[in-house]
A and B are shown apart, each in its own frame.
Chain A
Amino acid sequence: MSVTALTHAPGQSRTVPRLLIGLAFVLTAIFVVAPLVFIFWRAFAEGWGTYVANITDPTTLHAIGLTTLVALIVVPVNIGFGIAAAWAIARFRFPGRKLLMTLIEIPFSISPIIAGICYLLLYGRQGLLGPWLAHHDLKIMFALPGIVLVTMFVTAPFVAREVLPLMQAQGSEQEEAAVTLGAKGWQVFSRVTLPNIRWALLYGAVLCTARAVGEFGGVSVVSGSIRGQTNTLPLQIELMFNDLNTTGAFAAASTLTVIALVVLVIKATLESRR
């Protein structure tokens, strides 16, 4: 009995993994690849000319530009914040350190729409700071600052969460050595700390970019959806979709997808170099 079982076991162990791998491929094809292909298929359904016309529509172009601008502001701020937060948590022991770690992760667990509503209740016309802002003619909601703020909130953890574990694992010996050799604070950072964390940093920045570009729920609350002014690319896609302009919506979606795919390629490249 034991003999047959032994000879049988290797055969079984080959079929089962194959089956599982096959299943994984099939599911990925159904849930990921097919919708992606469908986006491009629908975007080009009415020909290349219509596609170009849809993409070069001034409000779509503006939406692409606005989304890019938001990412250009948010990602660098996030990198700065992420490094600072990770450095503080990894290198120092201070009261409230655990709390800070938890706070950084809050945006991961809170739905973006709640972030949007919170900002609205704080900075909106009827909000806590609303009257003061209105009095000084400062526009935060329904303008670029509001969109940037909400996107920053949503993407806040990305860089810090990538860099922090690495910094903790590496410890501070190299930095301490640099200091004993006479390096100044900035030299320590640029020659020792930064090179050590650069891949994690880039990886975090890439994820942050992807998230910033695709943010919908929170921005939808604070944007005001003014076409050609505060409509980001995801909002523009929703607008065209609601409008029964399916081809236009998918054309705009295809640009967002291309950005996502480019980001994915960068991420994969970074991972292989890590």
Chain B
Amino acid sequence: MMITKLRVAALALMVGATPALAQDKILNVSYDIARELFEALNPEFQAYWKEKTGKDVTIDQSHAGSSKQARAILEGLPADVVTFNQETDVDVLAKNGLVAENWREALPNGASPYYSLPAFLVRKGNPKGIKDWSDLARDDVQSIFPNPKTSGNGRYTYLAAYAYALQENGGDQAKAQEFVGKIFANVPVFDTGGRAATQTFAERNMGDVLITFEAETRGIAKQYADQGFEAVTPATSLFAAFPVAVVTENAEKNGSLEVSTEYLKWLYSPEAQETLAENNFRTTDKDVSAKHAADFPEVKLLTVDDVFGGWAKINSEHLAEGGILDKVFVNK
């Protein structure tokens, strides 16, 4: 009896919470930890769109791991736009004809309105004096980052360390592998994802340094403010794109091509870029970047294309079964 009443109450709430039908509607399918970011961005775009066209727009959000999301879109999740944290996941959609083949050229900065880089979070006062990638290969330093086999975040850490080592050793592959192998040998646990690695570092109190996206390090430091973690940006790191694209096939079917395209373009506007910077992402707008320069230490950014010749090559040479990543793991 009581349960029935509760159910009725909950249903009433649900019906009440359903928004009224709007003229424009887009579904933004995004990566797992972007909820708060788009919760901040979407109302701004809604206001912008209303002012520009006089129309209301509803933006629905879906968040999960971006590879899982790509898979879901292939199976029919009706995404109008994707905002991912892995370029390869947009490539999967492009290969299946859901996203334009040349999606990288459709928008500035390789269709990445904001970006980040693998950076460090160290314990209060940085007792081990960790400043750069070379410190991670020291015998007395234990690093925490997720398994590069299962986590895009961990993959970036692996590639950034590798790219740094290539740079320091004049492109010597063997020395780079040895360097990365040393870092891997000092990782006490490989968690499957970034969130789990954060817990290992912050709640299980393991390791001297957590390696994750720079944007994440700030958020984690804030979440665990009582522990006094400090964010450290190394002098060299790897450009981590946050690619966006219109899912053309769906948007055409849903009649949302115009608003979807405009939504992604708007992410490059000073207004959106300011919100992105406030959420600890590096931005492409010059004025906004200049204004927040103090929050983002200067860093030499290497790119996947320059160092590794693109993601396809990374997949075949590094990540494939028996590739360089497997060798490095064996060294452990």
List residues of A whose CB falls within 8 A of some B CB. 58, 61-62, 64-66, 68-69, 71-72, 120, 124-127, 130, 134, 139, 141-142, 209, 220, 224-230, 239-246, 262, 266
Contact = CB atoms under 8 A, between A and B. Distances in A.
A62 B14 contact: yes
Contacts of A245: 35-36
Contact of A227 (B18, B32, B62): B62
What 3 A-B pairs have minimum CB-CB distances, sorted nearest first? A65-B14, A124-B75, A125-B76
Contacts of A243: 32-33, 35-36
Contacts of A242: 32-33, 63, 195
A123 to B, nearest CB: 8
Contacts of A224: 29, 62, 72, 77
Nearest to A137: B253
A134 B249 CA distance: 13
B61 interface: yes
Interface of B: 2-3, 6-7, 10-11, 13-15, 17-19, 27, 29, 32-33, 35-36, 60-64, 72, 74-78, 195, 198, 219-220, 223
A226 B10 contact: no
Contact of B72 (A64, A68, A142, A229): A142
29 contacts: A58-B17, A61-B10, A61-B13, A61-B17, A64-B13, A64-B14, A65-B10, A65-B13, A65-B14, A66-B14, A68-B6, A69-B11, A71-B7, A124-B75, A125-B76, A141-B76, A141-B77, A224-B29, A224-B62, A224-B72, A224-B77, A226-B27, A227-B60, A228-B60, A241-B195, A242-B33, A242-B195, A243-B33, A244-B33
A267 to B, nearest CB: 12
A72 B10 CA distance: 11
A127 B75 contact: yes
A154 B151 CA distance: 29
Contact of A142 (B7, B13, B33, B78): B78
B238 to A, nearest CB: 23
Contacts of A120: 75
A227 B61 contact: yes
A62 to B, nearest CB: 5
Contacts of B62: 224-227, 230
Contacts of B13: 61, 64-65
Nearest to A228: B60
A127 B72 CA distance: 12
